[in-house]
DNA sequence: CGTACCTAGTCGTCTAGAGGAGTTCAACCA
DNA sequence: TGGTTGAACTCCTCTAGACGACTAGGTACG
């Protein structure tokens, strides 16, 4: 049986934090294992002799820390251990494209996950200011916009949106839902743009409500954002890809020369 | 005057979310500028005709998203524009070390910030299992542990801990608090280990309470973690550096060859 | 046997109020 | 002039209760 301890109202730490501390400690020490259910609100109210909102504040704190997830009608559960994946630095090795694998598929399989893609949407739009700038286009030039969601073992882990100049994508499967083996990078090379290098800009933040919904995560889970620009051998940007990843599902690995 | 709109109680989105949506939109569109104060709880209660807790729930949502910060007794303010810094891919260019600049100093200055370092601690410890593995040492071999906190414009933005094998650091300023011009990488090269490349592993998560305290951030702010391993020209790992950065303060930039 | 319903238990949301504590600034007093 | 006080404003925490909605399990009915 879990030792819920007691709160001390004379100390300056407010009761809801003390309750959160006690539960957090149990989680960190494994006495509340991943997947296990926390005591219900009613039990905590009774045990500590506090009001409902006080207990809810405590649990809210744990939720924003990403330690627990609440399920309406069922209970509050300790978040299960993150399925750490790894973006190898040979992510864009040409050999993978030769083998007909897209980067995500290659990685997810290497990490022992069953990869999946859904919610593919392909549209033709006028470039936004940011996209035009990154692609070296004039604002409002046309770009093919490809958005999709990636899954690992059936769970959403990443949403991605690619922007390719219409001048490159025209007449290729890039504008189709199914791009064929090797993904869009293979098709860009087919179109005569040999890829030379990529730049990636990585940062992290809290997800917007839309992103939370698409990635099926709670408000306590941060996301990694990655903006990748692909350049061909002439130095021309040929694609910009904007991705939002569930932070706990990824480790990005890079190799940097010392020069 | 800010248009606070109205909430629609017939729709299925709860009032507190609708209020959060309205405020979030104002922030995203710049009508509530960084640093600007949000309408007070009292004003929002009056305007929307809801209870106190409802307004607080809405603001709590924005706080956990990191969009606003509350200051007791003063008000709620839009988080100031992230002082976006940038880890240029020439971060470890030898010329910086030749110029006597450490990587952080060079970057922060380039981004127009006043850099600072404090809380420097240098100890000699037995390597943990993880560190020993990364450095190719036997567990319990001695390493020099250097931890420090970096500041930009006086605000903490990063805490970092480096591990260097004692065999390399012995008899050099690496084991001193002041390592001299160019930082520890310059000293490692002085010791005959010419640096060849680095690997970096990037991920993001929510901070622990200790990290929150050291970085002076609230519970709604994620951190970027970066584990860097430095290799010399013989392929030997010569340093492991474990850093925790305030996510909103950093954009990491990488260049990846297409191979 | 299978469906529909009921019920207990769970979390989600909201109300209406209370006292507390940090901040600011103007008015007051020495 | 300079320091203190107090009021008004802010957000912080808590109470006690209400209704709603989702889940799971049992039960009664067709």
* Euclidean distance between CA atoms B99 and B105, whole angstroms: 11
Dihedral of the alpha carbons of A166, A214, B249, A78, in degrees to the nearest 10: -160
Instruction: Give distance CA A42 / C1' C6 (Å).
Output: 22
Q: Give the model's pLDDT for residue B91.
A: 53
* Euclidean distance between CA atoms B228 and B237, whole angstroms: 10
Residue B56 dihedral angles phi and psi, to the nearest 5°: -65, -35
- Best residue in B94, B203, B210 for a mutation probing chain A (most A CBs within 10 Å): B203
B92: exposed, middle or buried (Cβ count in 10 Å: 0-12, 13-18, 19+): buried
Choose among B56, B62, B60: nearest CA to B27.
B62
* The total number of residues written for chain B in this structure: 259
Nearest to A94 among B21, B197, B259 (CB): B259
Per-residue pLDDT averaged across B202-224, rounded? 78
Q: Concatenated DSSP letters for B174-185?
A: GGSS---TTHHH
Angle between helices A41-48 and A52-64 (to 10 degrees): 120
pLDDT (tens digit, 9 = 90+) per residue, B56-86? 999 998 887 778 888 888 999 887 654 444 4
Cβ-contact A100, A184 below 8 angstroms:
no
Cβ-contact B222, A247 below 8 angstroms:
yes
Instruction: Give distance CA B58 / C1' C12 (Å).
Output: 14
Give the nucleotide with minimal C1' distance to the Cα of B14. Answer: C13
Which residue in the block uniquely carries the two structure tokens 């609440």? Answer: A70
- The residue with greater pLDDT, B193 or A86, is B193
The answer to whether the Cβ–Cβ distance between B200 and A64 falls below 8 Å is no
Which domains are present in chain A? 15-78 (1.10.10.10), 85-252 (3.40.1410.10)
Give the nucleotide with minimal C1' distance to the Cα of A55. Answer: D14
CA A147 to chain centre: 14
Q: Give the model's pLDDT for residue B82.
A: 46
Q: Searching chain B, which residue's CA lies closest to the CA of residue A65? A: B206
pLDDT (tens digit, 9 = 90+) per residue, B90-138? 555 555 555 555 667 666 666 656 677 888 888 888 887 678 878 888 7
From residue A139, give the alpha-carbon distance in Å to each of A61, A128, B52: 44, 6, 45
Nearest to A222 among B60, B196, B206 (CB): B206
| Positions of chain A with pLDDT lower than 70, given as ranges | 80-103, 105-114, 129, 139, 153-154, 182, 218-219, 259
* Euclidean distance between CA atoms B148 and A228, whole angstroms: 31
Nearest to B247 among A205, A221, A259 (CB): A205
- 3-class secondary-structure state, position B117: strand
| Residues of chain A neighbouring B220 (CB-CB closer than 8 A) | 64, 206
Dihedral of the alpha carbons of B28, B31, B33, B36, in degrees to the nearest 10: -120
What's this model's pTM, rounded to 2 decimal places? 0.66
């Amino acid at each position: 049986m879990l030792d819920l301890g007691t709160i001390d109202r004379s100390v300056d730490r407010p009761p809801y934090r003390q309750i959160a501390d006690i539960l957090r400690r149990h989680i960190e020490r494994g006495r509340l294992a991943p997947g296990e259910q926390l005591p219900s609100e009613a039990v905590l109210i009774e045990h500590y002799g506090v009001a409902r909102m006080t207990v809810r504040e405590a649990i809210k704190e744990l939720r924003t820390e990403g330690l627990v997830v609440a399920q309406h009608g069922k209970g509050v559960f300790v978040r299960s251990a993150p399925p750490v994946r790894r973006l190898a630095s040979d992510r864009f090795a040409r050999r993978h494209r030769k083998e007909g694998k897209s980067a995500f598929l290659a990685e997810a399989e290497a990490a022992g996950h069953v990869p999946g893609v859904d919610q593919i949407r392909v549209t033709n739009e006028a470039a936004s200011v940011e996209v035009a700038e990154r692609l070296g286009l004039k604002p409002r030039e046309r770009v093919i916009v490809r958005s999709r969601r990636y899954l690992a073992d059936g769970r959403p882990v990443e949403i991605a949106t690619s922007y390719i100049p219409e001048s490159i994508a025209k007449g290729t499967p890039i504008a189709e839902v199914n791009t064929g083996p090797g993904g869009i990078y293979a098709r860009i090379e087919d179109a005569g743009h040999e890829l030379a290098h990529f730049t990636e800009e990585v940062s992290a933040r809290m997800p917007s409500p839309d992103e939370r919904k698409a990635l099926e995560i709670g408000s306590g889970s941060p996301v990694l954002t990655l903006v990748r620009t692909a350049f061909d051998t002439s130095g021309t940007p040929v694609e910009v890809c904007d991705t939002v990843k569930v932070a706990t599902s990824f480790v990005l690995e890079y190799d940097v020369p010392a020069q």
